[in-house]
Each structure stands twice: as structure tokens, then as C-alpha cells.
Amino acid sequence: MRAAIIGATKGMGRQLARRMAERGDMIAILGRSEASLQAATTDLQIRGAAEVHPIVFDLADADGHRKGLRAIEGALGHIDAIIITAGGFDTQEGLESDLERTARILDLNYTKTVLFCEHARKSLMDQQGGGKLVVFTSVAGDKGRKTVGLYGSSKAGLSHYLDSLDARYRDAGLVTINVKPGFIRTSMTAGLPEPPFAGEPDQVAVDVLKAMEKQLPTVYTPSIWALVMLVIKHLPKFVMRKVGF
Amino acid sequence: MTRFLDPLKSDMPLHGWGGLGVHGREALGENLAEITEGKPLTRGLGRSYGDAGLPAPGDEVIAGSRMANRFLDWNPDTGVLRAEAGVSLNELRRVFLPKGWFTPVSPGTSFVTLGGMVASDVHGKGHHSAGTFGEHLTSLTMRLANGEIVTCGPDDKPDLFWATTGGMGLTGHILDVSFKMRAVPSPWIYAERKQCPNLDSLLEHLEEAAEAYPMTVGWIDCLSTGRNLGRGILMQGRWAELHETPAKYPADGGGPSVPFTFPNWALNDVTLKGFNWAYYHKEFKGFRSGVESTQTWWYPLDGIGNWSRIYGKRGFTQHQAVFPKAVGRKVIRQYVELIAMLGGSSFLCVIKDCRAEAPGTLSFPMEGISIALDFPMRADTQAIVDRLNEFVIEHGGRIYLAKDALTRREHFEAMEGERLTKFMEIRRKYDPDLTIRSRLSARLMDPEVER
Ligand SMILES: Cc1cc2nc3c(=O)[nH]c(=O)nc-3n(C[C@H](O)[C@H](O)[C@H](O)COP(=O)(O)OP(=O)(O)OC[C@H]3O[C@@H](n4cnc5c(N)ncnc54)[C@H](O)[C@@H]3O)c2cc1C
Ligand SMILES: NC(=O)c1ccc[n+]([C@@H]2O[C@H](COP(=O)([O-])OP(=O)(O)OC[C@H]3O[C@@H](n4cnc5c(N)ncnc54)[C@H](OP(=O)(O)O)[C@@H]3O)[C@@H](O)[C@H]2O)c1
């Protein structure tokens, strides 16, 4: 497979890139730090990637989106999948007390990600008649809750967009996959109190590769979170006001 | 502050594998050079049983290496791999076994990091043929107490290097590890298992097997006494040649998992006797041989996720001692009698012959016989450990720090003598104020101060 991953230097994106490298895929990795991209490139080559192409890229910079896509096209030729794990997070308390940071995270997770997906959609459909667009949202976007409201609302918006993209373009060849991780042990969540069912990035990587193969429109990972969210989604508002999550 | 905590508790205090927990926090991240800055200790996957990977009293935050796990350089011509200290053996196996390479030395679980393997200078079923992990290292990159980042190796600051192998993280933070991998003919092991009706038979077979097989280990039923004392199973193995093996690659085992912590009463002498009886008489009579997967051979417990939960909330500990060869079988027999008499409810009792003194300043192995047992924490556990340690001291043996939580300072000093003096000299040379420290070092070797 030939895939581009935005966010391959850390966390779930890194583990996904590794699993793909280990099966011999050709990968373009995009991120902000040249040094991290270089180290990731060596790691992926040792693991067995057919080719690794590091591309310096900032998702927050909309002016650079088109250039980033050209670089991916140049590196991979044909693109089977574009995967976006890049995103920002902070706790509800952290965001409430710093609205500038809130603005940056909402903007990155929603506006900039949607805008980049629009470029990616056009690139995949116009240049090669389709492909896969795999984007990480979150279970935090499934329901308004006490603890992850601000961050969760950006993921809810993104989710809404991705689901409509899939509804509109799947028949025309664009397969959109909305990945909803539960609590995963990455540096993003390091230091936070751990809820039950916390998962490892490697579980997520395995689940996402399976979902890509089966072309599932939505994937909860680890899969137990599908059940957890099914219950939470059906809790009435007066209960949501009482419970601590 | 110290207590045995339920490893499932969500306030996530730091704990050792046996469940010994303290309040504190791990600083985690992809960049180990960054997160180790100013920290008193680094830990890996927390598979040491006691307090080796826990902050000293008064310390709060230590570095955690497990997200720093990139491969940095690989040379298939020399077999030398350079990797960040947080790479786990499980990941190493997944990536390199299909290419025909394996770690030169492996402990009994793959959920350990390279940094932890260096710091404990681990040994495995192959100790008599392959030595310890430290003997296969070519170099280390470390952050010292003064913040400096340096390399060391057998010919580069050898005092620092050999004090670091087996030094339980007390000489500095290991950032990356270079070592020589082992080329293997297949991903399978040819293994044989023999029932041995008593200790003499087991020791005899163990000695014999070491001549013919690069990997050996014995399991003793510590609950049998009298005529059956020390009865057990000997396992011997070697890497299988390609023509002996199944055509397919061994399946990656995600085995059963222990979903919850057992109630404390679940494990008692009766259930243990049943377990040991069943294990001894398992599916075979006398002898069994065949080809098995790397995972089944090296990591039988990894297939059962969270197996430590069967010990219940009070947790457990392990005691591993090695006796010099010169003591002879009589002393080993007395030791096994002592274990049986103390009745510590050992679930696993593992016996292994070690080849030779490891070169690490404080490494565990020496030429002789090593015996490891785990037992649940109970009111009398300290007394049991004390009694075992007195026996060990009397016969010139020593204990393995990676498994220890309860050994007393005076016992440790009596076991280690000059080795400990030399280790402390090197520690102070690179860290005059002993700012790199752990709960283990505070218990066993640091100056006793009020913190
Ligand atoms: C089921 C089981 C079987 C085992 N079998 C064996 C066996 O057969 N042979 C054997 O030798 N051991 C065995 N062990 C013990 C285990 O190999 C060691 O405890 C090992 O050190 C654990 O590695 P870790 O990454 O979990 O380290 P941790 O437990 O997290 O830390 C162990 C020590 O290493 C230090 N350390 C870790 N990383 C670094 C670093 N980057 N820099 C500096 N110091 C560091 C810590 O400070 C600590 O002192 C076994 C353990 C278990 C649970
Ligand atoms: N961890 C969880 O529990 C959890 C749960 C639900 C959803 N999620 C979502 O899942 C995704 C991945 O999470 P994670 O935990 O793997 O995160 P992570 O460990 O923080 O990794 C994020 C990755 O994105 C890159 N990145 C961040 N901002 C970027 C930008 N502006 N431009 C380009 N790259 C950027 C980072 O690279 P550089 O910093 O090197 O640029 C890094 O590689 C995120 O969208 C997150 O919101 C996470």
C-alpha cells in the first residue's frame, strides 16, 4: 500500500506507520519537526518499509495545505490512503483557563483538518478516481459530557463532516473512515487519570488497518468503546449532569 | 506511604510487578533525553518485582522510557542494533524474528525494555551458553547525574559501563542501547521436557543438559516433601533447524487474560498443591519433545495477560538467590527443604544453573545454581525472606535485585561486601551527591538520611 500519514512521529500515528512499514508499505510521513521526521524515517526503514518520504508540514498552516498534497503526490505517485492523526488536546480545565489555546485547538482539530480533507478529497478523486481518507476523531465527540466539552466539540464537528463526506462520495470512489479512539496511552494523555478500558497505540494500529481493509466507515478502538459509547449516548441529560465523566 | 495496592486502581500510583506501590508519577514522552533531565531515576515497563523502579522516599517524578522506542541503526552484516532504551522485547521480536534475528539473551517475559534489561543485566534459560545481556552490548548512551550525555562501552569508560550493567539504573539514565543480535535458523525451538522424580535427579539432568543444549531450566514443585522433595520438570531446548519446523510462521499469541484481581483467599496451599500436581502430571508422562513457538518456549506467562492478579490485592514478591557451585548438592537440598518447610506457597519455583560470574560490578549471576520462587504477601513474608537470606549469606550466595522488595540492608551488605563498595565508588565518581536514586537504593545502599 502507498499511504501518507500526518502525525506519524508520535502516538497512534507512529504505531500505525510502524505496522505499515513492517508489512513493506511505501509511506510518506508529515509533521512539523524535521528532526523527529528524520528519526522516524530511520525507524520505519529498519522495520521494513519499501520507501519512506519525510515531508515537513504544519496542518495548522492552511496556506501550506496544497503544497503538502503536491509533495505527497510527488513522493508516492499513486496514493492509496491519506491518514490524519494530527490533532491537539488539553483538559477541559486547561482550555477553560486559556482561550487562546482553546482557539488554536478548535481551529486545528476542526477548521484546518476539514480544509485539508477538502484538498485531499479533490486530489484523490480528480487525479486517480478515489482512495481512502482515514481521519482520527474521538469518542469525546459522541456526546456532550462534563469532562471533555471543548475538545470534544471540535471532534464532534469533524465527525459530522466525515460522516457526510462518506455519505456523499463513497459511491464515487472516496472511502472515508472515521476513527474514534477511546482513552489511549500516548504522550497526549500522559499524566491524566486513566479510565477503565484504556488502550495501547498498537491495538489501535491493528484495528485501523483491519477497518481500512474492510472499508468500514466508522471504527471504535479498542472495540469495547463502541459498547461503552452506545450506553453513554443513551443516557438522558439529567443523568449526564450527575455523572463524573 | 508504602503499601501493596491493587494494580487496577485508577489513581495509578507507581508500582512494581509484585504490586508494591508508592505515590509518584512517571514523566512519559518520545524524547528520552528531554524527559530524563533533572530526574532521579528512569524506569521501563515496571517488570521488576519490588522497588527497583520506584522513586526514593521524598522523590515524586521519575522518567518512564516506554514511549521512547525507536530503532536507530541496524547493520545486518554485523548484527549490531542500536535502539532507544524504551524498545520492548516484544516489539523487537515482532520486527526481527521474521528477519531471522533474536535477542541474544531473554528473560522469562517479553514485556521488558532494553534499558531494564541492561539495568538488571538479565539472564535467561541460555545463561550457561550465552551469559547475561550485558555481555552482548557494544555501547550505551547515557545521561549522567550532572546532565551530560555520554557514551560508554567495554573499551570506553569501562567502569561506568560495567557498573551500569546490573546497576539497577543507579549510575544514570540509559538513553540508547547498542548490542549484537543473534542470528537464528528458524522462529521455532526444538524442546524436550522430562519429569524428574526428586531433586537429585533434577540437578543431575540439569548438569547433563547444559552440555548438550544451549537452553535449560528446571521447575521444582516446592510443596512436595520427603521422597518427592524437589521433584520437577527439566526443560531443555535449542533453536530448531529449518527442515524440522512447520512451514508456517508461528501465530502471534494473544492468549487468555486474567480479567480481574482475585480475592485474597483464592490462592492458598490447597489450590497451589492442586496446581503443582496438575503441572507436574500435566499432559505427559515422563518425557515429551517437539518443536514449539518462540513465545511458548520463552514467555509461557505472557500468554496470560495480567497473571499477577491471581495473587489478589495484597500482591506478591519473589526471591531469587544464586549459590556458588562449590557448595555442592547437599546445600541446594537443604535450601529446597527450607523452602518447603517455610511453606511460602510458591506458585513457581525455577531452578537454573549459571555459567560464570557476570562482568557487571553488581550483576547477579555467578557460577552455580540459582533458585527463584514467588509467594503472595502475607504477614510472615518478611520473616520468610529474612530466613532465606540468612541461609544465602551462610553459603556465600547472593540475591537478584530485580526480584527483591524485602531484603534488609545488613543482609545485602553481608552478601555483597567488596562488590558493593566498588559499585558505590563508581556511583560516587559519576554522581558525588547520589542524586540518581531509587526506593531500592534508599533501602539497601544509600546513606541513611531523613528526607
Ligand atoms: C514474568 C517475569 C519473568 C522474568 N524472568 C526473568 C529472567 O528469566 N531473567 C531475568 O534476568 N529477569 C527476569 N525478570 C525480571 C526482569 O527481566 C527485570 O526486572 C527487568 O529489569 C525488567 O525490565 P523493565 O523494562 O520492566 O524495567 P523496570 O522494572 O521498569 O526497571 C527495572 C530497573 O531498571 C532500571 N531501568 C529501566 N530502564 C532504565 C533506563 N532507560 N535507564 C536506567 N535505568 C533503567 C530501573 O530504574 C530499575 O532499577 C522477569 C520478570 C517477570 C515479571
Ligand atoms: N490519546 C488518546 O487518548 C486519544 C483519544 C481520542 C482521540 N485521540 C485523537 O487521536 C489523534 C492522535 O492522538 P495521539 O494520542 O496519537 O496524539 P500524539 O501522540 O500527540 O500525536 C500527535 C501527532 O500529530 C502531529 N501533529 C500535531 N499537530 C500537528 C500539526 N499542526 N501539523 C502536523 N502534525 C501535527 C504530532 O507531530 P509533531 O508534534 O512532531 O509535529 C504527532 O505526531 C488525535 O487527533 C487525538 O485528538 C486521542
Q: What is the pLDDT of residues A199-235, one digit of tens each?
A: 999 999 999 999 999 999 999 999 999 999 999 999 9
Minimal CA separation from A188 to chain B, in Å: 9
- 85-144 of A, contacting B, C-beta below 8 A: none
> Could you give the percent of chain B with pLDDT greater than 70?
86
Q: Tell me the pLDDT band of B345, cut-offs 50, 70 and 90.
A: low
Q: Tell me the pLDDT band of B351, cut-offs 50, 70 and 90.
A: very high
Contact A191 B25 (CB under 8 A): yes
CA atoms within 13 Å, Cβ hemisphere of B176 = 18
Minimal CA separation from A19 to chain B, in Å: 9
Residue B255, pLDDT > 50, answer no
Average pLDDT over all residues of chain A: 96
Residue B172, pLDDT > 80, answer yes
**What whole-number distance in Å separates Cα of residue B429 and Cα of residue A200?**
40
User: Is the C-beta atom of B436 inside 6 A of ligand 1?
Assistant: no
Residue B378, pLDDT > 90, answer no
pLDDT score of B422: 98
Nearest alpha-carbon partner for B352 in B254, B236, B270, B248: B236
Atom of ligand 2 nearest to the CA of A13: 16
Average pLDDT over residues A147-167: 97
Residues of chain A contacting B74 with CB distance shorter than 8 Å: 46
Residues of chain A contacting B26 with CB distance shorter than 8 Å: 190
Residue B123, pLDDT > 50, answer yes
Atom of ligand 2 nearest to the CA of A36: 40
Average pLDDT over residues A180-187: 97
Between A22, A190, A194, which is nearest B95 by CB?
A: A22
Ligand 1 centroid from CA B108, angstroms: 11
Residue B258, pLDDT > 70, answer no
What are the beta bridge partners of residue B288? B193
pLDDT score of B282: 61
Least confident range from A159-163, B265-269, B434-438: namely B265-269
User: In this structure, what C-alpha cell is assigned to residue A223?
Assistant: 472495540
**What whole-number distance in Å separates Cα of residue B372 and Cα of residue B197?**
19
For residues B322 and B369, is the Cβ–Cβ distance under 8 A? Answer: yes
pLDDT score of B3: 43
A5, A6, A12, A14: residue to mutate for ligand 2 pocket, most atoms within 8 A of CB: A12
Nearest-by-CA chain B residue for A10:
B30
User: In this structure, what C-alpha cell is assigned to residue B71?
Assistant: 530503532
Nearest-by-CA chain A residue for B260:
A196
Per-residue pLDDT of A81-123, as tens digits, reads 999 999 999 999 999 999 999 999 999 999 999 999 999 999 9
> Could you give the percent of chain A with pLDDT greater than 90?
92
Q: Tell me the pLDDT band of B284, cut-offs 50, 70 and 90.
A: low
Residue B283, pLDDT > 60, answer no
Ligand 1 centroid from CA B208, angstroms: 30
Nearest-by-CA chain B residue for A202:
B91
Average pLDDT over residues B279-303: 77
Q: Tell me the pLDDT band of B5, cut-offs 50, 70 and 90.
A: very low
Q: Write the CB contacts of B199 (distance below 8 Å, at least 6 apart in sequence).
A: B220, B229, B230, B231, B232, B329, B332, B333, B336
Q: Write the CB contacts of B189 (distance below 8 Å, at least 6 apart in sequence).
A: B215, B237, B238, B239, B240, B291, B292, B293, B294, B296, B297, B298
Strand A81-84 and strand A131-136: the pairing is parallel
User: Is the C-beta atom of B109 inside 6 A of ligand 1?
Assistant: yes
More confident residue, B321 or B299: B321
A48 touches chain B (CB under 8 A): yes
Average pLDDT over residues B265-273: 61
Nearest alpha-carbon partner for B64 in A185, A161, A78: A185
Orientation angle between helical segments A113-128 and A65-76, nearest 10 degrees: 40
| Chain centre distance of CA A184 | 13
Average pLDDT over residues B197-201: 93
CA atoms within 13 Å, Cβ hemisphere of B132 = 24
Provide the 3-class DSSP secondary structure of residue B351.
strand
| Chain centre distance of CA B24 | 23
Number of Cβ atoms within 10 Å of the Cβ of B204: 13
More confident residue, B2 or B29: B29
A6, A9, A10: residue to mutate for ligand 2 pocket, most atoms within 8 A of CB: A10
pLDDT score of B1: 34
CA atoms within 13 Å, Cβ hemisphere of B313 = 6
**What whole-number distance in Å separates Cα of residue B32 and Cα of residue B48?**
20
pLDDT score of B121: 98
Atom of ligand 1 nearest to the CA of B400: 11
pLDDT score of B20: 80
Atom of ligand 1 nearest to the CA of B47: 26
What are the beta bridge partners of residue B349? B373
Between A22, A46, A196, which is nearest B74 by CB?
A: A46
Residue A191, pLDDT > 90, answer no
More confident residue, A244 or B311: A244
User: Is the C-beta atom of B103 inside 6 A of ligand 1?
Assistant: no
User: Is the C-beta atom of A229 inside 6 A of ligand 2?
Assistant: no
Residue B111, pLDDT > 60, answer yes
User: Is the C-beta atom of B349 inside 6 A of ligand 1?
Assistant: no
User: Is the C-beta atom of A89 inside 6 A of ligand 2?
Assistant: yes
Q: Tell me the pLDDT band of B275, cut-offs 50, 70 and 90.
A: low
pLDDT score of B79: 98
Provide the 3-class DSSP secondary structure of residue A25.
coil
Q: Which residue's CA is the nearest one to ligand 2's atom 8? A: A138
The beta strands (E) that lie in B181-305 are given as 182-183, 188-196, 215-220, 232-239, 287-293
Average pLDDT over residues B386-395: 98
> Could you give the percent of chain A with pLDDT greater than 70?
100
User: In this structure, what C-alpha cell is assigned to residue A55?
Assistant: 515531508
Least confident range from A150-159, B40-49, B276-285: namely B276-285
Minimal CA separation from A171 to chain B, in Å: 36
Q: Which ligand is in closest contact with the Cα of B174?
A: 1
Which helix (H) or strand (E) covers residue A206, if one does?
helix A201-214
